């Protein structure tokens, strides 16, 4: 028994030494030994080979049907606006066929509406050798099966233990480092050490996900005293951004491990954590955020105005609260590559532990980040209009679909006031009293 414990301790010692030398230590200096790059090259070649094998194993007609279904959805929708489509209904005499347009729209919404499908993982055009994405592909060939089995062994027996080890090192280092730095008096040295700890630990945690991130237009990175807003796909969005620079976080205070991390980091960095009761007080939140951006020596605030995670295909309504406090807005677009792993967190289906297990057993997390030119509120522009303008810019840059719906519909029903407004619009167009534009669904949102 003692010999067994000795061997286990020896193996663990070697494991930690190799991980610290090859991964953790280079992370401190923001360097890479090329291991991740080599892994990604091999992975890309493997997935390309698997795609070719799949294309040979299925008929061309099936492949095209799958491609159209995955990229465009079940329904081929006409992008023409409602006002233009029913312009022909503006007649004096009513005909039974006049109701066909509304019947068609109703059936489309029942079969596949454009809102709820944004709260589930996007479909892939080709299988990426992950079991949970093997929905449309069955047995193709013995070679492909052997590669898939080898992939399972590599992901669960090699990558998962390594990633869990790195994640543990990163979290413990974050808690200990920020706690120690938090004991120092406020000074430029404390700020420098705090940023060093945050950057180093974020880089370790990104490598725990085999993260490969490409940052574009770094000259537009958010500056101190500003507000960084980005589309929201996953909790790891924070790691993706802090891997390249430090931010002051804004969010609700939690308990458990997350609460421990929050309490330790706030000692070293001016994060803004709110209690649940405070989050309901919009004026208190606005006051604290204004106080933060008034100090041009403080880190830029990082905010996700959607308020919930969307599945990497779209950008939904930006809540106007972030755009009421003034200051310079630094938009950032984040787009993940689903071929290597699904970064979307469906919080209504998976808890945080299950979600982390899923992404840690994926091939890698690959994404692009675009820093965009700063934007300010124009004269005569209200907060809702400003929020929509920033949202449009992010959606265009990231190649995402822009939707005006509130992401809160993931857990709540459509407001009665909005349904009533839509009914009024229908009535006006049918009776020929003129058409109206789409109502602003953010007018009453925070």
pLDDT per residue as tens, the chain (446 positions):
667 777 777 777 776 776 667 777 776 666 777 778 888 899 989 888 888 887 776 654 454 444 444 444 444 555 555 555 555 555 555 566 667 777 777 776 666 666 777 777 777 777 888 877 765 555 667 888 888 889 999 999 989 998 998 888 889 888 998 999 988 888 888 888 988 888 889 988 998 888 899 999 999 999 888 899 999 998 899 999 999 888 988 877 777 777 888 888 888 888 888 776 655 666 777 787 888 888 888 889 999 998 888 888 889 889 888 888 888 899 999 999 988 988 898 877 888 888 888 899 999 999 999 999 999 988 888 888 999 999 999 999 999 988 887 776 666 666 677 677 767 777 776 665 444 444 444 444 44
| pLDDT at site 446 | 40
Task: Round the CA-based radius of gyration of the chain to a whole number and report it.
Answer: 25
Check residue 363 and give its pLDDT. Answer: 92
pLDDT digits (tens, 9 = 90+) for 159-195: 999 899 888 888 988 899 899 998 888 888 888 898 8
CA nearest to 298, candidates 318, 316, 272, 280: 272
DSSP annotation of 375: B
How much is the pLDDT for 259?
Answer: 80
- Taking alpha carbons only, the member of 322, 335, 328 closest to residue 370 is 335
pLDDT recorded at residue 38:
87
Q: Buried b vs exposed e over 411-434: b needs ≥16 C-beta within 10 Å?
A: eeeeeeeeeebeeebeeebeeeee
Locus of tokens 């924070």: 238
Provide the pLDDT for residue 434: 44
Backbone angles phi, psi at 20, to 5 degrees: -65, -40
Number of H helices, E strands in the chain: 16, 9
The answer to whether 220 touches 332, Cβ cutoff 8 Å, is: no
Q: Quick one: tokens of 8?
A: 């286990």
DSSP class of 133: G
Please say whether the beta carbons of 231 and 398 come within 8 A. yes
pLDDT at 439: 42
- Give the span between the Cα atoms of 291 and 52, in whole angstroms: 57
Q: What is the pLDDT of residue 437?
A: 44
Q: What pLDDT was estimated at residue 443?
A: 40
Length of the chain: 446
The encoded tokens of residue 4 equal 């067994």
pTM to 2 decimal places: 0.78
- In whole angstroms, how far apart are CA 23 and each of 40, 92, 124, 242? 16, 74, 31, 18
Q: Which residues pair with 272 in a beta bridge?
A: 250
- Two structure tokens written together for 369: 């980040």
In this structure, the number of other CB atoms found within 10 A of the CB of residue 29 comes to 9
Q: How far is CA 66 from CA 18, 69, 127, 298, 333, in A?
A: 44, 5, 11, 50, 28
- 67 near 125, Cβ under 8 Å? yes
Distance CA 415, CA 441 (A): 10
- Which candidate, 179, 178, 183, 218, places its Cα nearest to that of 202? 178
What pLDDT sits at residue 98? 64
pLDDT attached to residue 216: 94
Q: What is the pLDDT of residues 194-225, one digit of tens each?
A: 888 888 899 889 988 888 999 999 999 998 88
The tokens describing 309, both together, are 């995670």
| Helix 160-182 vs helix 256-268: crossing angle, to nearest 10 | 40
CA angle (81 as vertex; 80, 84 as ends), nearest 5: 90
């Amino acid at each position: 028994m003692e010999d067994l414990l000795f061997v286990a301790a020896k193996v663990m010692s070697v494991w930690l030494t190799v991980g610290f030398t090859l991964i953790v230590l280079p992370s401190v200096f923001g360097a890479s030994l090329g291991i991740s790059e080599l892994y990604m090259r091999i992975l890309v070649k493997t997935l390309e080979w698997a795609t070719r094998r799949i294309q040979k194993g299925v008929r061309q007609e099936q492949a095209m049907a799958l491609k159209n279904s995955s990229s465009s959805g079940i329904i081929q929708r006409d992008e023409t606006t409602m006002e233009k489509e029913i312009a022909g209904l503006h007649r004096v005499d009513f005909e039974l066929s006049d109701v066909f347009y509304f019947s068609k729209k109703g059936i489309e919404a029942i079969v596949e509406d454009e809102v709820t499908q944004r709260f589930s993982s996007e479909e892939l055009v080709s299988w990426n050798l992950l079991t949970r994405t093997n929905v449309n592909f069955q047995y193709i060939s013995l070679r492909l099966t052997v590669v898939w089995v080898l992939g399972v062994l590599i992901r669960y027996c090699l990558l998962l233990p390594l990633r869990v080890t790195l994640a543990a090192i990163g979290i413990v280092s974050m808690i200990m480092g920020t706690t120690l730095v938090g004991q120092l008096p406020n000074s430029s040295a404390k700020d420098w050490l705090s940023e060093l700890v945050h950057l180093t630990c974020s880089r370790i945690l990104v490598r725990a996900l085999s993260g490969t991130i490409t940052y574009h237009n770094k000259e537009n990175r958010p500056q101190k005293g500003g507000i960084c807003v980005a589309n929201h796909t996953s909790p790891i969005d924070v790691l993706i951004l802090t891997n390249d620079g430090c931010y002051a976080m804004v969010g609700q205070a939690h308990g458990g491990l997350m609460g421990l991390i929050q309490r330790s980091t706030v000692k070293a960095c001016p994060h803004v954590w709110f209690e649940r009761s405070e989050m309901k007080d919009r004026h208190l939140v606005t006051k604290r955020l204004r106080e933060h951006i008034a100090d041009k020596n403080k880190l830029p605030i990082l905010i996700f105005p959607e308020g919930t995670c969307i599945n990497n295909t779209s950008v939904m309504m930006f809540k106007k609260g972030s755009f009421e406090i003034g200051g310079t807005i630094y938009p950032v677009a984040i787009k993940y590559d689903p071929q290597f792993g699904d970064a979307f967190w469906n919080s209504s289906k998976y808890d945080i532990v299950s979600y982390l297990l899923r992404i840690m057993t994926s091939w890698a997390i690959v994404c692009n980040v675009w820093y965009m030119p700063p934007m300010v509120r124009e004269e005569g522009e209200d907060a809702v209009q400003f929020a929509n303008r920033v949202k449009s810019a992010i959606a265009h840059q990231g190649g995402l679909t822009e939707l005006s719906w509130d992401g809160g519909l993931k857990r709540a029903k459509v407001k009665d006031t909005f349904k009533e407004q839509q009914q009024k619009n229908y009535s006006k167009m049918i009776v020929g009293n003129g058409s109206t534009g789409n109502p602003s669904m953010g007018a009453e949102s925070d």
